[in-house]
């Protein structure tokens, strides 16, 4: 029994899908140019080729996984399906969902994180808000309703998880 399934919004799915697909195409073009330069005898182009292929792999993986980004809360575990990886946290180790402002390359980003095991946290990319520094507090306050829903679902899941149903 699931206590909640949250999926990425259609708007974010399209936006990030197009962005990662564009990055993928640009990196593939760069890799082809670097391959041609490597065949022509340019030794530095081999480094560019390796970096472009690694970036193309990551952006291709993100592009393929973005439609499946989700959060699922069960009595046994909380599953966070992200753009690059999937994380599983046992429900008994999950403490709470909290709004938080995370640093990024271009400033700060309000999002929701799952706190677990007393000191670890997992940022939930699907709930991230993009705000200027003047709107950061407003964006964090917008997340409080979603945080309440997530914490209620987590409490309900923990209430149903009996010691006999929890693996050792």
Same domain for 133 and 155, yes or no, is: yes
Domain membership of residue 33 (yes or no) is yes
At 69-122, the pLDDT tens digits run: 999 999 999 999 988 999 999 998 999 999 888 777 777 788 889 998 877 888
Domain membership of residue 168 (yes or no) is no
At 5-55, the pLDDT tens digits run: 888 888 888 998 999 999 999 999 999 999 999 999 888 999 999 999 999
> Roughly how many angstroms between the first and final C-alpha of the chain, as a whole number?
20
Q: How many C-beta atoms surround the C-beta of residue 127 within 10 A?
A: 22
Q: Number of folded domains in the chain?
A: 2
What DSSP letter does each residue of 71-128 carry, written as one string? EEE-SSEEEEE-SS-EEEEETTTEEEEEEEEEEETTEEEEEEEEEETTTEEEEEGGG-
Same domain for 97 and 54, yes or no, is: no
Same domain for 63 and 138, yes or no, is: no
Same domain for 87 and 134, yes or no, is: yes
Domain membership of residue 166 (yes or no) is no
Output the pTM of the full model. 0.77
Domain that holds residue 44: 9-67
143 vs 17: CA distance, rounded Å: 23
Buried b (16+ CB within 10 A) or exposed e, 77-111: bbbbbbbeeeeebebeebbebebbbeeeeeeebbb
What DSSP letter does each residue of 16-68 carry, written as one string? HHHHHHHHHHHHHHHHHHHHHHHHTT-SHHHHHHHHHHHHHHHHHHHHHHGGG
Same domain for 75 and 154, yes or no, is: yes
Same domain for 61 and 140, yes or no, is: no
Same domain for 154 and 101, yes or no, is: yes
Same domain for 44 and 56, yes or no, is: yes
Same domain for 56 and 121, yes or no, is: no
Query: 3-class DSSP state for residue 70?
Result: strand
Same domain for 153 and 74, yes or no, is: yes
Domain membership of residue 167 (yes or no) is no
Same domain for 85 and 57, yes or no, is: no
113 vs 100: CA distance, rounded Å: 7
Same domain for 59 and 80, yes or no, is: no
């Amino acid at each position: 029994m699931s206590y909640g399934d949250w999926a990425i919004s259609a708007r974010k799915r399209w936006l990030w899908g197009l962005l990662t697909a564009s990055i993928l195409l640009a990196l593939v073009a760069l890799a082809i140019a670097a391959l041609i330069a490597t065949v022509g005898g340019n030794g530095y182009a081999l480094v560019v080729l390796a970096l472009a292929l690694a970036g193309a792999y990551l952006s291709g993986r993100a592009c393929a996984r973005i439609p499946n980004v989700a959060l699922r809360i069960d009595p046994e575990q909380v599953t966070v399906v992200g753009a690059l990886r999937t994380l599983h946290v046992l429900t008994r180790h999950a403490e709470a969902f909290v709004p938080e402002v995370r640093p990024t390359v271009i400033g700060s980003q309000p999002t929701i994180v799952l706190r677990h095991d007393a000191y670890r946290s997992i940022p939930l990319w699907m709930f991230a808000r993009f705000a200027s520094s003047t709107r950061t507090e407003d964006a964090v306050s917008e997340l409080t309703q979603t945080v309440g829903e997530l914490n209620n679902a987590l409490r309900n899941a923990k209430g149903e998880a009996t010691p006999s149903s929890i693996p050792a």
